[in-house]
Amino acid sequence: MTYFYPPLRKKQVILLALLLMGTGAAAQKKVFNRADSSKPAANDATDRLKQLPASSLDTAGYFRNTDMMLRNRGAVSSPDLDQARKLPYMGINAVLSGRATGVDVRIPSAEPGKRNALFIRGASGLLLKNGDVFAAQPLYVIDGMPLQYDHAFAYDIQRFDFNRIGTEIDPLAYIDVNDIRSIEVLKDAAATAKYGPSASAGVIQISTRGPRTGELRVEVNGYAGMSLKPSMKVVNGRWERDFRLPFYDRYATAEQYRSFPAYLADSTNAQYYGAADWDEAYYRNGWMTGLHAGVSGGNRLASFRFGVGQATQQGQDNTLARRYNVNFGINITPAKRLDWSTYISASMLNRKRNQSLRDRMGDQDYILNLDRPPSPNKSLLEAYYGYLDDGIDNNRNTNVRVLNNLSYQFAPWLKFNSRFSIDYGQNFRDLFMPSTVNDGNNFASNFDGLQNRMTLDNSLEFSRYLGKRHHLTVTAGQYNQWDRWSYMYGKGYRGKSDYIKIYQPSSPGNPDNGSHNLRLTANFKDRIRAALASFYGNIEYDYAGKYNVMLYLRQDGSSNVTEENRWKLFPTAAVSWNVSNEPFLQDSKALSTLRLRGSAGRMGKVFSLDYYKDGPIYNVEIGWEGTPNLATYNAFPVLNAAYELGYVAPGIGWAYTDQINGGIDFGFANDRIKASVDVYARTDRDLLLKTPVAQEYGYSGVWQNGMDIRNSGVELTLEASIIQNKTFAWSSAINASMNQNKLLALPGGQTAVVLGNRRFEVGFPTDRFWLLQNEGMYASDADVPGGMTYQGIAMKGGDPIWIDRNGDNVIDDNDRIMEGSHNPKVQGGWANTFKYRDFELNFLLSYAFGRKLINENLAARYDFANREGADDIGAVKEVFYWAEPEGDMDRVPRYNPWSAVRPYQVNQTLFLEDGSYVRLRSLTLTYNFRSAWLAKRGLQNLRVYGTGNNLLTWTRYRGGDPEAFSYLGYDQGGYNWAQPKSFTLGFNLQF
């Protein structure tokens, strides 16, 4: 695999980009005249200019004909990006948090550049593990180009479900917010159906700032800022000893006393009882910088835009993300009625990852010695970091996107459009851990990943007025999509020397010529391909701008569906009534806008794996199927049933999504007050689920269609221009989203299923925790009801009082309840903008109410008896272990931690807490320079601003940050980094 990483440094990249911009600007002034200028031009060019209709987008900048020739007639949320461009966001999802309705942004860790997630109108499936998050993500579309997201198939060769092998870089961090003109969140079938099965979970539609007409314009945007390190109540061994001793004094036997941890037993041990100042080396005030420049110009026959940018963001634990990006786009009309648009974007992102022990063990698939934790002493931690510096962790992604769009106007009413796009990404990670930090066992690995998507869309549009009031639009087209994900991964343990920092596998027949012992190496090569072919037609009728009816039919065929079920027809219909155009409302002074709309549709859901299409098969469960279990006979791979992957039921068919949506848009006082209300129900049907089977079958489960999940809710948006005069203006916008889900059916007619530590029951929500109910503690053996057991273990004094719901004197899974949800009952944001002369003040509050979280970090602290020194990755103690646990410790009973009933197990109501919050997400003060001095010097616009992020949070949650938790709703303490407070200063310059 050939890589094209440029060997240039940051300053060289910026200088080269500025040089290209300068030469491009010079050429622009020579070649292009001012749009529609009075200067003489060639007759052919003049004629063509007269025939091209002018548009406000021409001067603003856009790419032509990239909307797939289908209009948005459904539920759409369009957040204001003017304020978002003043914030140091490295990623699109963070921009939408609190700004768009129906959107739930999940950022488990604020580690710079790390992958995060977003759900539109709830998750479209069960979230049982990190890999399930990939399939629930919306489709991201840039200028009509559907981007390819990461794939979860690499999880199949991992033992630990923390990070996907490879770079774990957010692919959305490639996109510079300064290059974006608008973002639209498409939510119902009327808005998303045009993008096909990939859009069943919703669409984030992004339009970039493309070529524009007019004189040459140069834009420069820059910012610099700092994120503040958090305050922390650090502790040392004395605090931990004092925390544990009451448990020992009350419950410990003589043998348990003798097993008191050695690192806590000696109070003269300066390594653990010395200074607790580790936070000074682990946390830091991180710098954030960003610089973006763009140049554009031309006329309606030929226009262009070139942009270049870089951004850097530091985080705690020596983490860092650095991005470089460059893009170029042109609009050309080379012949009469012919339009051609091209967009090319290239990005590179390097991420210096965290240095936590848990993540390192997960990456290595190797558990280190857990007898003692790191020291809380700063000097020892810095020495440890010094050893880590002897290792290697090169972690980078590159991405290239190419879009070509060709449009030909046969007649004013007949238009052909052809679009071809490529989204190409390479992921590369070299990892080496020296023996000095690895229990004397060094480790090396190499990950080489590739992903690419190609799309081809051709469509023909007939659009004509039939009389003065009847407008008919008919569109027909075909769409093809080809996807590929692949990787090569190798790892080796106990290399020959710490000076050999590469992984080089041995050659066949010569096991001694590699960097590692052949018996201590593993190599994986995996690939998944998918293809989608579609034919679609759309009929839209509009009468006098009042009544609109749309019918969209799409026939999809997927390579990941069995042959007999491969093709399926998916219809969508939408209607709207613009009541404000009716005669009885046209003269209304109060009600300026009133529009009713409704939609219903069915969309296919693409399976992420090609494994299901073949039904029951025999295979080697490694390599192409992506699982580490290899069956052999006399050391030769053999075909066997897919016991680990699960039995695939015959005749797997399409999963699909049924959606209905009703909405109303209205405005008052010439739209100074605007509001929208949407009510929806989205039902994901025939989803695949692997359900447990009897052990004697040998399979881990059986895959079959038949699971139905419904998400329903209400969304509200209200905008108001409250005060508007020459010197002062105040505008306000608030949005709220309410979503709830319900499990409607399970495969095979089952009514309930237990998967891991979750129970799912038909008729109940899918996002509830499955918990034991706490009611205190048995003070003594005499207080325990006669014969009370926990899964066959007799309960004693010091054990929890768990409610026996069925009264059988046995506490087991039948006594658990489904309680709480990490999905809030209502969430949204409230933005306000105040303008006084040339000053502007903006703030955004975001909120979530009705969210419940499990404080897993607090549970782990109390469960020390079971975790201390255990040969399990859950027993690892990081350096941030030396901090007071966040949570209400006074309400946690002092159970017997050595009890066989595991009294501090995490899944109980004791650790369920209210995670509701209100957060001041951003506060920005801007000054706009508008003076004759600027105009004389050719400056069109200059504004400077200062921004504060995450300044205040109001919450009842006693754990960490109520927004920082795992995708499954567990607060894991130091692994879930809170979004830091930060302050930036920036400018926007245009000339």
Cα dist from 56 to 99, 215, 302, 594, whole Å: 25, 15, 16, 25
- Taking Cα atoms as reference points, which of 705, 458, 661, 455 lies closest to residue 565? 705
Q: What Å distances lie between residue 380 and 283, 377, 506, CA to CA? A: 15, 6, 38
Task: Work out the end-to-end distance of the chain between its first and last CA atoms, rounded to an integer number of angstroms.
Answer: 43
Residue carrying the six token digits 């977003």 = 118
The ranges of the chain with pLDDT < 50 are 1-41, 623-629
User: How far apart are alpha carbons 822 and 133 in whole angstroms?
Assistant: 14
Q: Which pTM was predicted?
A: 0.92
List of residues 6+ apart from 535 with CB closer than 8 A: 477, 478, 479, 554, 555
Rg, C-alpha atoms of the chain: 30
Dihedral over alpha carbons 692, 696, 700, 703 (to 10 degrees): -60
Instruction: State how far the Cα of 431 lies from the Cα of 173, in Å rounded to an integer.
Output: 22
Rounded CA gap, 283 and 319, in Å? Answer: 10
- DSSP assigned state of 564: G
- Residue 815 dihedral angles phi and psi, to the nearest 5°: -100, 0
Please tell me what DSSP assigns to residue 514.
Answer: S
154 close to 626: Cβ distance less than 8 angstroms: yes
Can you read off the two tokens belonging to residue 28? 């622009």
Amino acid identity for residue 339 in this structure: D
Residue type, 276: A
The residues, ordered by sequence, that sit 6+ positions from 787 with a Cβ below 8 Å of its Cβ are: 809
The residue count of the chain comes to 991
Written as six digits, the tokens of 790 are 């926990």
Question: How would you classify residue 166: left for phi > 0, otherwise alpha for psi between -120 and 50, otherwise beta?
Answer: left
C-alpha separations of 821 from 285, 623, 774, 970, 987 in Å: 34, 38, 18, 11, 42
Sequence-separated (6 or more) residues with CB below 8 Å from residue 205: 141, 183, 184, 185, 186
Give the E-state strand segments of 412-469 in sequence order.
414-433, 443-466
Contacts of 874 (CB under 8 A, 6+ apart): 860, 867
What's the confidence (pLDDT) of residue 637?
58
> Which of 99, 186, 75 is CA-nearest to residue 139?
186
Beta pairing, strands 214-227 & 286-298: antiparallel
- Tell me the two tokens of residue 666: 């209205």
**What integer pLDDT is reported at residue 1 of this predicted model?**
37
Q: What pLDDT is stored for residue 625 in this prediction?
A: 35
Q: Are 114 and 163 in contact (CB under 8 A)?
A: no
Torsion on CA atoms 578, 584, 586, 587, rounded to nearest 10 = -160
677, 594 Cβ separation under 8 angstroms: no
- Alpha-carbon dihedral sign for residues 879, 883, 888, 893: positive
Give Cβ neighbours of residue 584 (< 8 Å, ≥ 6 apart): none
Residue 853 CB-density burial (10 A; 0-12 exposed, 13-18 middle, 19+ buried): buried
Query: If we measure between CA atoms, which residue out of 895, 962, 888, 954 comes closest to residue 919?
Result: 954
Contact indicator for 190, 550 with CB cutoff of 8 Å: yes
pLDDT given for residue 664 in this prediction = 96
Cβ atoms 124, 491 nearer than 8 A: no
User: Can you tell me the distance from the alpha carbon of 655 to that of 486, in angstroms, rounded to the nearest whole number?
Assistant: 25
What DSSP string describes 300-362? Answer: SSEEEEEEEEEEEEE-STT-EEEEEEEEEEEEEEEETTEEEEEEEEEEEEEEEPP--HHHHHH
Q: Cα–Cα distance between 83 and 644 in angstroms, integer?
A: 50
